[in-house]
Every structure is written in structure tokens, then in C-alpha cells.
């Protein structure tokens, strides 16, 4: 081996010893100087290390999924790259970061790792071209009966996704009881542009509701065809722009609105909201089976108003206990989580400040944020796992 600066052909150790003797440099220092000058970290080595890190929900490695972007290696052996998530609301981001950092640091001579984050929400592949809607995923939030807090769950899922950085729309399809404008503190829509309605903007969420199109207190007595027309107008005549997620708050029950929506808008999936009590579970089961009949995937079940934490530290199960989990097991659905009772949810809903905004660190807000993350993760898994092939039957 020829060592630059010494000119001698010798073995590795002998060469460095000769170099050290000639320049009066200690042997260890000579070896360190040579390594710093001649040893390089390659992108191939970094990618090989990262190919061993699995995306926990997709069960494929980060390199195969093309999640590693902008990989750079600085002269001081600092490695930088961006991890492109499938949703900004990724619930396992911490685990991915830890394993990716450990993998890169295991590469010889790497001194430190800088990780940046970005996201590219996948399209579920469902054809919405007839509506001219650049919406990547549409998620319905429904329930079998009223009074279970369905709209509250829908609003806070939308807020949580928007807070994570996603582009979110919220359509209040609860035509008979449009309460979402109150929950978001919106009183009117912006002026229309030509024949197109412009959605209101609150907490970075684009929102449309029949409550903003009729006089306060005006009764909405609509037959099926009128209801179907209203829902189609909310979809086709509103300038939504490009959205990662459109959250649709459905009216309770299994009536015309749910059927009209499923027919007009291909849904990525549905979230079912229930209380722990038996009556609510029976109705929620009917709503769940309705979506399955319409071939809408069930993303999971949310048990709202699960319990009340008392000042003395005890817990009161006002509406029973464990019903949501039992329904999920019985229907082979995902259980997304429990949401406790908190008077600040009601106060925030009345004042136009959702709990994720007014008390973001409260147990209720944490539960709802976790639910939103699980929903986003499941939508991404389904979108990336789907073949999205258009079947064509050839008749000979």
C-alpha cells in the first residue's frame, strides 16, 4: 500500500509506522489522519442500513417504500435525509425516527444524523373524476343514533389532522341538525365565485354546512330527492381545492343521507361513534352494517363519553363500560379508542373552540388526537395496499 506523503510500498501497519517516523507524528495520529482523508461514507451504505428499518404498519422497509428523500453526507460525516411519511398524523413517527437514527449511526464513521420530516398522503385510488374533486381520501363519521357526540368526534378528527399539517375539508352532511358551524365558531360563508361556493375556513379546515345557507332556526323539512340534491351540491358546487382528507359528518341513523353520500362520493372508509350503553351499541351496529352493505370499509369504532374521572380519583361509568370494544370484537372491526367525559368539550363546542384548541393537553384531546392518527394511518395503509385496478371484461 502506498501512503500519500511517504512514498513507500509496504504493509498497512509498516507504511504508517514509516510515515510516523519520517514526519515525527505518532502512529495513532497518522492512522486517524489517513482515515479522515481517505475513508468515505457512501449513500449506498446509508440506504443499506435504512433498508433494515420497517414502517411498522405497512410492514415494508423505508427504502422500498421510497420514504427516504434528499439524502446528503457532509464532509464532517454528518448524514442528513428527509423521511416522507404517508400521513403527517403518523402515530408511529417516534418509533420510525428512533430506529432510522440507530440504523444510520451503526454505519462506520457516521458522526451524527439529521432527520427532517415531510409527508405525501396517498390517494385511495377511488374515482372521483365525475365530481371534479381533487380529494385524496374521504372519511365518513356516522352513528346509528343521535346524541352520541358524533359531530364532536368529526370536528376534532378534522382539527387534529389539520394541526398535523394535512389539508383538510369538513362537510356537514347532517342536513337536519347542522351544528358544526357553531362548534367551529363560523357564522357565514365567504362570497361565492360565480356559481361556486367558497367554503368557510376555521382552524385551517375548509368547511361547508347547510347551517350557513339557511336562516337561523329555519326548519329543514326535506324529502329524499331534495336531500340527495343538497349532498351532491356540497360535493360538486363547492370550491374545495386539493384536500388530503375530506371528513363528512353524517346525520344519525341509516337514512337517505348516508345512502346518497355513498352513491355520490366514493368513501375511503367510515368511522362509527357509539356510547358504551347497550341501546347505543345496537344502533351503532346497524349503522356499521349499513356501510358494509354499501361496500364502504369500516375504519373503526370510537366509544365516546366512556367514563367520568371524579375529583377523588375514582372513575364513574355513567353509560356502562366496554361496549365499544365488545362491538368491535363482535363485528371484527378496529377499536379506535375511548373518549372520556369532560365539560370542556361541551363548553368548547358552544363557544366555537374545539377541545383540541382550547385544552390541547387534556385527556379528551389526547384521546381524540390518537384516534385521528389511527384513522389517518389506516387510510394510508389501505391506499397503499389497494391494487386500484379498473376491471375490464373483454367479450370475445
pLDDT in tens, 110-144: 999 999 999 999 887 675 554 556 889 999 998 87
What one-character-per-residue DSSP string does 65-105 give? TT-EEEEEE-TTSEEEEEEEES-TT-TTHHHHHHHHHHHHH
pLDDT digits (tens, 9 = 90+) for 239-265: 999 999 999 998 876 666 667 777 777
Decide: 311 and 279 in contact? Cβ < 8 Å: no
Residue 197 pLDDT greater than 80, yes or no: yes
**HSE-up of residue 218 (Cα within 13 Å, Cβ side):** 10
Full-prediction pTM beyond 0.95?
A: no
Decide: 103 and 49 in contact? Cβ < 8 Å: yes
The confidence score (pLDDT) of residue 130 equals 45
The confidence score (pLDDT) of residue 107 equals 93
Q: Cα–Cα distances in Å, from 74 out to 42, 49, 78, 96, 109?
A: 11, 18, 5, 23, 12
The confidence score (pLDDT) of residue 263 equals 72
Task: At 201, give phi and psi (nearest 5°).
Answer: -125, 120
Alpha carbons 55 and 58: distance in angstroms, whole number: 6
Alpha carbons 289 and 270: distance in angstroms, whole number: 11
The confidence score (pLDDT) of residue 170 equals 96
The confidence score (pLDDT) of residue 6 equals 46
Decide: 170 and 247 in contact? Cβ < 8 Å: yes
User: What mean pLDDT do residues 283-289 have?
Assistant: 83
Decide: 328 and 301 in contact? Cβ < 8 Å: yes
Residue 4 pLDDT greater than 90, yes or no: no
Q: Cα–Cα distances in Å, from 132 out to 88, 228, 246?
A: 25, 18, 14
pLDDT digits (tens, 9 = 90+) for 321-360: 788 888 888 889 999 999 999 999 999 989 999 999 999 9
pLDDT digits (tens, 9 = 90+) for 14-43: 554 554 555 555 555 555 554 555 458 899
The confidence score (pLDDT) of residue 195 equals 83
pLDDT digits (tens, 9 = 90+) for 350-382: 999 999 999 999 999 999 999 999 999 999 988
The confidence score (pLDDT) of residue 144 equals 74
Residue 89 pLDDT greater than 80, yes or no: yes
The CA-based dihedral angle spanning residues 274, 277, 280, 282, taken in that order and rounded to the nearest 10 degrees? 110
The confidence score (pLDDT) of residue 34 equals 47
Amino acid at each position: 500500500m502506498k501512503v500519500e506523503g511517504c512514498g513507500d510500498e509496504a504493509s498497512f501497519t509498516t507504511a504508517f509506522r514509516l510515515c510516523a517516523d519520517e514526519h515525527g507524528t505518532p502512529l495513532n495520529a497518522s492512522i486517524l489522519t489517513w482515515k479522515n482523508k481517505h475513508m468515505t461514507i457512501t449513500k449506498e451504505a446509508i440506504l443499506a442500513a435504512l433498508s433494515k428499518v420497517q414502517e411498522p404498519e405497512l410492514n415494508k422497509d423505508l427504502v422500498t417504500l421510497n420514504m427516504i428523500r434528499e439524502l446528503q453526507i457532509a464532509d464532517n460525516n454528518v448524514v442528513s435525509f428527509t423521511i416522507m411519511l404517508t400521513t403527517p398524523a403518523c402515530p408511529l413517527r417516534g418509533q420510525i425516527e428512533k430506529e432510522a437514527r440507530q440504523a444510520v449511526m451503526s454505519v462506520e464513521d457516521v458522526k451524527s444524523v439529521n432527520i427532517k420530516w415531510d409527508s405525501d398522503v396517498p390517494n385511495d385510488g377511488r374515482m372521483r373524476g365525475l365530481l371534479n374533486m381533487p380529494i385524496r381520501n374521504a372519511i365518513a363519521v356516522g352513528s346509528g343514533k343521535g346524541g352520541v357526540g358524533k359531530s364532536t368526534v368529526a370536528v376534532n378528527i378534522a382539527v387534529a389532522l389539520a394541526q398535523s399539517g394535512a389539508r383538510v375539508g369538513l362537510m356537514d352532511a347532517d342536513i337536519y341538525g347542522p351544528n358544526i358551524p357553531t362548534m367551529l365558531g363560523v357564522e357565514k360563508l365567504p362570497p361565492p365565485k360565480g356559481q361556486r361556493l367558497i367554503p368557510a375556513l376555521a382552524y385551517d379546515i375548509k368547511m361547508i354546512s347547510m347551517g350557513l345557507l339557511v336562516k337561523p332556526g329555519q326548519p329543514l323539512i326535506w324529502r329524499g330527492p331534495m336531500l340527495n340534491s343538497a349532498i351532491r351540491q356540497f360535493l360538486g358546487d363547492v370550491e374545495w381545492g386539493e384536500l388530503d382528507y375530506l371528513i363528512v359528518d353524517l346525520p344519525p341513523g341509516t337514512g337517505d343521507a348516508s345512502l346518497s353520500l355513498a352513491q355520490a362520493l366514493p368513501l375511503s372508509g367510515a368511522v362509527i361513534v357509539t356510547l358504551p350503553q347497550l341501546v347505543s351499541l345496537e344502533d351503532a351496529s346497524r349503522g356499521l352494517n349499513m356501510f358494509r352493505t354499501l361496500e364502504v370499509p369500516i375504519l373503526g369504532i370510537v366509544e365516546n363519553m366512556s367514563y367520568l374521572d371524579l375529583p377523588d380519583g375514582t372513575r364513574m361509568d355513567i353509560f356502562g363500560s366496554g361496549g365499544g370494544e365488545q362491538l368491535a370484537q363482535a363485528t371484527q372491526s378496529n377499536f379506535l379508542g375511548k373518549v372520556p367525559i369532560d365539560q370542556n368539550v361541551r363548553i368548547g363546542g358552544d363557544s366555537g373552540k374545539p377541545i383540541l384548541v382550547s385544552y390541547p393537553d387534556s385527556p379528551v384531546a389526547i384521546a381524540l388526537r390518537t384516534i385521528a392518527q389511527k384513522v389517518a394511518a389506516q387510510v394510508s395503509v389501505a391506499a397503499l395496499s389497494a391494487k386500484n385496478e379498473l376491471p375490464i371484461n373483454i367479450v370475445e
